[in-house]
């Protein structure tokens, strides 16, 4: 009985591991979803995603990254990341990343 419980637990653990491959195309939302974390500095952002395509902020930085599908990622930044949003080409919020 103990052996059956142990094997079931091991199988469940092995099957529940995240086996997603890391996206490599920096101009996709999958790459941002996988790599963007709230504790990144500006230098970290540039190293991971490149120099922003724009900064539309007033009072805080709102870094804009254009994605290949026509959508954008807006990252609100002051001394740290305040939010990150995936936006449609028409300016509609698609989802909050952070």
Please write the tens of the pLDDT for every residue from 37-92: 999 999 999 999 999 999 999 999 999 999 999 999 999 999 999 999 999 999 99
Among 24, 8, 28, residue whose Cα is nearest residue 16: 8
**Does the pLDDT value for residue 16 go beyond 60?**
no
Higher-pLDDT residue of 10, 96: 96
Q: What does the pLDDT read at residue 22?
A: 87
Q: Give pTM, 2 decimals.
A: 0.78
Q: What's the mean pLDDT in 24-31?
A: 96
What are the residue boundaries of the structural domains of the chain, listed by start? 52-98
What's the token pair of residue 56?
A: 């539309």
């Amino acid at each position: 009985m103990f052996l059956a419980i142990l094997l079931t637990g091991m199988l469940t653990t092995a099957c529940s591991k995240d086996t997603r491959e890391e996206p490599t195309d920096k101009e996709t939302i999958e790459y941002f979803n996988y790599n963007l974390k709230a504790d990144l500095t500006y230098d970290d952002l540039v190293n991971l995603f490149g120099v922003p395509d724009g900064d539309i902020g007033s009072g805080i930085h709102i870094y804009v990254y254009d994605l290949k599908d026509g959508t954008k990622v807006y990252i609100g930044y002051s001394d740290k990341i305040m939010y990150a949003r995936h936006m449609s080409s028409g300016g509609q919020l698609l989802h909050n990343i952070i």
